[in-house]
Structure 1
């Protein structure tokens, strides 16, 4: 019976994703990019971005470096690192403006090592952009025993924010808080989240798994903002959908691959998507809008489940349990 149920759920999710995808693409075509109201002059401040070696991540890192920030990029060694170094050379950025540290978001040990390397620098971090992500793909588990999409897209970033919180707190000040930008996705609109099956033991669908990880980032953003505000801390979290943009994620699943082949010419560019992330990262106009989810640089209401306070709390508690965190960021 369960196998038949899962079969029909697969079909339902595919049909729903296709309908929603084209609906959202229509509005994406009509949307525009909102420029920053303020000049980008952030000299000598430090930013950390995961997955900044290509696509939206690289374009974001480049804008930040051009603003004067010192950018620490986390990505894997090997081809990813080589691609990053090649892009840095071609962009002719100021010497020392971008630094690479090895990071595999699917490995919690790698996330801890990455964070420790940053902590050892003993510099305040004005900005953390949780950008790295894995697209819809067949079921697999990480070395830690976590479902890989949930681990890479959400758990690793939850852990990284916890570990870097002392440096973010050191950088933030009233009126110009340090910021955390969680790169979510319009895929969250599927709106289905089983809090009792975070590792997809009873049911796995690639699009559902991706959507769930992006919903989790929004819920994390909302409840983290509550914790920070309650403790009167000058760190502001935001969740952002950068737009419907081609990245390698579209090639990770047969359905998204063919959707891109058919409609990719209508997508926004990686540079345009990066501008939306930078807007959330640096715009002074949204200083008091933390905890929100942004689409097209505007506060947007996400799927109803992401606003469910009980599920937010349960996800927070389960995440802390899975990662053995007793006091997130030292906030309590």
Structure 2
């Protein structure tokens, strides 16, 4: 897909979702049973959807770890959640998804705590500039062409490969924590842009004919493909872990820095009417993380509290396996026995 086509299709999808949100009733969370004794990791949990997810899981009694790369904002969010929920088992741990070394260090530090892990939320990640102390963040959405410290295209490297690596390194703990009656859960946040995504296995890093819209959509499609393939492998080995994908909708967060001026104007004028709040955007993420209705059920795509059909290409098992194999090679085969193609 050409850069112009990617641009046009991305905003067409955005308009479609906004109209759907206007015409449909927002999903309201039911009352869930307490989750005392359970542990959750939420990436990007310091702001937006991640923050609301972390707060709700904390309110349910879970030990919540907010993973992010802005320590000041992370600690501030922890303090707010503790104050609002009364649950003191909330903490911040540093994680830079743009760095494979940082991901490995995060997992090492987490495992040193000797905790179980019942929920991993691979949330849409806001990448805070290392040299910036203010809350204004550079989100990995429609950014100019640039690479991570490991040389990966930033959308693909942060949105997808970072979560791919993190999930693999935490799989053994997730498996140990799940049981026949209470599976551990992996909830991956994608978006409706995956419907227009094209996965170029010969150019996953978008080196040729770069389009920020195309690269973003590809990273979101990759997350869906990965989640489905992971569920198949977990089920095949009889693991008590499930993997699902959530589309939170178009949410009023910090993710729109690099969108067009027309979209920004639309957001400024109509966000109160068309855009979901962070609380509304987090509702389906929370539902997938703790709802008894989803116990033991994986391999699905959820929007507004309902299971829906994802893009046709996302069910291509051959493509899932090929992406899996290439991803393992790119990140250096983390937990090689888990990452075999």
TM-score, L = length of structure 2: 0.89
Paired residue for 1:149, among 141, 147, 155?
A: 155
Give, in angstroms, the shift of residue 35 of structure 1. Answer: 4.3
Structure 1 range deviating more: 26-35 or 232-241: 26-35
Give, in angstroms, the shift of residue 150 of structure 1. Answer: 0.8
Instruction: Note the alpha carbon deviations across 1:65-124, whole angstroms, 9 max, x for none.
Output: 0000000111113443354245336535322x2111111111111111111111111111
The separation in 2 between residues aligned to 1:227 and 1:300, in whole angstroms, is 22
Gaps of 5+ in 1: 1-5
The separation in 2 between residues aligned to 1:167 and 1:330, in whole angstroms, is 13
Paired residue for 1:75, among 33, 51, 68?
A: 68
Which residue in 1 is equivalent to 2:324?
A: 316
Shift of the 328–233 alpha-carbon distance from structure 1 to 2, 3 Å rule, reads farther
Q: Does 1:268 align with 2:276?
A: yes
Instruction: Note the alpha carbon deviations across 1:202-222, whole angstroms, 9 max, x for none.
Output: 121111111111111100110
Equivalences for 1:276-295 in 2 at 5 Å?
276-295=284-303
Which residue in 1 is equivalent to 2:243?
A: 237
Aligned-residue RMSD, C-alpha: 2.0
Equivalences for 1:1-332 in 2 at 5 Å?
9-36=2-29, 39-85=32-78, 87-88=80-81, 91=84, 93-95=86-88, 97-133=89-125, 134-254=140-260, 256-265=263-272, 266-325=274-333, 327=335, 330=338
The separation in 2 between residues aligned to 1:192 and 1:331, in whole angstroms, is 23
Shift of the 242–88 alpha-carbon distance from structure 1 to 2, 3 Å rule, reads same
The alignment covers a number of residue pairs equal to 324
Give the 3-state SS of the residue equivalent to 2:202 in structure 1: coil
Gaps of 5+ in 2: 126-139
- Asked whether the 8 Å contact 2:196–2:217 carries over to 1, the reply is yes
The separation in 2 between residues aligned to 1:323 and 1:117, in whole angstroms, is 20
The separation in 2 between residues aligned to 1:285 and 1:217, in whole angstroms, is 23
Instruction: Note the alpha carbon deviations across 1:273-315, whole angstroms, 9 max, x for none.
Output: 1111000111121234311111112222112221211111110
The separation in 1 between residues aligned to 2:336 and 2:281, in whole angstroms, is 30
TM-score, L = length of structure 1: 0.91
Structure 1 range deviating more: 26-35 or 297-306: 26-35
- Asked whether the 8 Å contact 1:227–1:331 carries over to 2, the reply is no
Give, in angstroms, the shift of residue 32 of structure 1. Answer: 2.9
Give, in angstroms, the shift of residue 328 of structure 1. Answer: 5.4
The separation in 2 between residues aligned to 1:82 and 1:46, in whole angstroms, is 18
- Asked whether the 8 Å contact 1:33–1:275 carries over to 2, the reply is no
Shift of the 323–103 alpha-carbon distance from structure 1 to 2, 3 Å rule, reads same
Write 1 or 2 for the structure with the bigger share of helix.
1
- Asked whether the 8 Å contact 2:3–2:209 carries over to 1, the reply is no
